[in-house]
Structure 1
């Protein structure tokens, strides 16, 4: 059986130096595709495209990972910009929100990581806290803290115990989007994981970065769901 194809969103950096070149580059940290591969999937990197092509792109894939990155523009959830919110990533916002919408519409397994979880919440009509203290120690330095699974959720079934996770964020879920439930929290109550309430749908968001500690439990579950979905579609 072929490994399921898992798409990973990428983003454009206007100036990236490699070798003798300094050019705009679509990229994503290697940890994302390495985690997909370690979990048994084949990784496909998805550069930004026209939002209207999202469904076409996903029609060739089996699962989707929306990667971490900059703040989601508050205009997408009807809020005024906090001074501590980062500059808009307009192209990325529109593309990733379109990918999420297409994945949800098709029933594709979907994992949102950090910004990806926030974008998932926004795509379903939720809002974000634009700044919280205590989850970032210093620029570019990953923090570690415990998260507690919520009993009865998909995440709790995968990771039954409190776990230390690598995290780097200053924004978090505020009002939950439609049909979403909280599946893990930090000690201070910050929402650390969300998922669709429908147990038949594999849609999960985690606020931390599993690609940094190589914990494959959540990603392996995504790959298994993608494999099962592909088998049903082919049969």
Structure 2
């Protein structure tokens, strides 16, 4: 319940993810990534740890972004996850997941995923990490964590910026999955020189579809960011591209 004299503004520009190391280690195997994505209790995580304030992921970009293809909404399927591992001849896997303990919801989500993966025969060791140390690990594909739980937001409203930073093989330092695919690189390069906005949008949609098919990243849910403000404040409902308050737009009513 909102107190008298207060308003609440909502923004859906950020999303929670599990990032893989797609280039090395056990998670370089698409079957491992697929099994992990099938194991998580998305609905339970959103309800319990995010207060239901958001929506289940249906693609690698936050729900508020443009140029998003129509993709299936994530859901848990433990039976299928076990079959994927069995068909790939995989058993007794042990993985390490990093998370930021400063955010209680991340510790809870990491523990939930650990429990879910145990149900399909994957052991997960949880290791806390400070954000600055995580950024250092992104400096080389070989040091990107096997699993990393984090929240991300689009730096600009243009979907192309986010997909390029996240999925171009040349984007070392911002490519949180160590993702590398020649077809994706080709589409991104073509989009860079494409003058027509609709054509560029179509190319970005193709990239997202390919990454999703490859289980290159594990989006959990778009997270609503709520801001309460006094009736005397104007402009609090406006947001910067990354979802933060557009401070320059704030005004006090006379």
Structure 2 length normalisation: TM-score?
Answer: 0.28
Structure showing the higher strand proportion among its residues: 1
Between the two structures, name the one with larger relative contact order (CA 8 Å, sep ≥ 6): 2
Structure 1 length normalisation: TM-score?
Answer: 0.29
